[in-house]
């Protein structure tokens, strides 16, 4: 599984051990989010600064207190994108934001330490319309639900 946003590809389609359930859950959560993906702390920051703020707030190793870490994690977790969504996204931990109602932007900084057989690359900004993003999420969720139901019926279960 991978994501294609214009000429940007995130994910490793060739990963033979990728699980789809983690990605399904992540996309379903995004689909069910009614609030715009923006935080006032992003105001005035560059896209790279927003990416780094979110990633450091959640995963940073610094001298914050445990309560500050928990508060930051709670505040910024909704912007965390692809982290732990399946093996196909190992090394593709990204940030998702909506600078306005019409545009969804994925921010990604490749890190070779997490990406098998890939060199670190330039900072990635992938943008699409929010409606196209929501439609893609809805299509994936619908497909997954239909396949779950179909496979449950094949196995003789009445409910997935």
For the segment 52-65, what is each residue's pLDDT rounded down to a tens digit? 999 999 988 788 88
Is 150 domain-assigned?
yes
Which ranges constitute the DSSP H helices of 7-129? 21-31, 47-59, 66-76
Q: What is the number of domains present in the chain?
A: 1
Q: What pLDDT, in 10s, does the model give residues 142-156?
A: 999 999 888 888 877
Is 2 domain-assigned?
no
* Residue 83: domain span: 19-158
Helix (H, G, I), strand (E, B) or coil at 81: strand
Residues 6+ apart with CB under 8 A from 113: none
**Alpha carbons 30 and 135: distance in angstroms, whole number:** 11
Q: What is the mean pLDDT of the chain?
A: 85
Is 5 domain-assigned?
no
Q: Summarize the confidence of residues 8-37 as an average pLDDT.
A: 85
**Alpha carbons 75 and 49: distance in angstroms, whole number:** 16
Is 11 domain-assigned?
no
Is 3 domain-assigned?
no
The encoded tokens of residue 28 equal 């379903």
Is 131 domain-assigned?
yes
On the question of pLDDT at 91 being above 60, the answer is yes
Is 13 domain-assigned?
no
Is 35 domain-assigned?
yes
On the question of pLDDT at 114 being above 60, the answer is no
């Amino acid at each position: 599984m991978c994501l294609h946003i214009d000429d940007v590809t995130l994910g490793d389609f060739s990963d033979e051990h990728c699980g789809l359930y983690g990605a399904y859950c992540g996309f379903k959560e995004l689909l069910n989010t009614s609030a715009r993906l923006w935080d006032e702390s992003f105001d005035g920051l560059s896209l790279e600064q927003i990416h780094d703020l979110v990633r450091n707030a959640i995963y940073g190793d610094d001298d914050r207190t445990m309560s500050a870490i928990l508060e930051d994690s709670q505040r910024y977790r909704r912007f965390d994108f692809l982290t732990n969504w399946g093996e196909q996204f190992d090394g593709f931990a990204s940030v998702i934001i909506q600078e306005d109602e019409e545009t969804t932007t994925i921010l990604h900084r490749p890190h070779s330490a997490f990406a098998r057989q890939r060199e670190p690359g330039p900072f990635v900004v992938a943008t699409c319309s929010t409606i196209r993003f929501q439609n893609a999420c809805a299509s994936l969720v619908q497909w997954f639900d239909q396949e779950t139901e179909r496979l449950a019926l094949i196995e003789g279960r009445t409910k997935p």
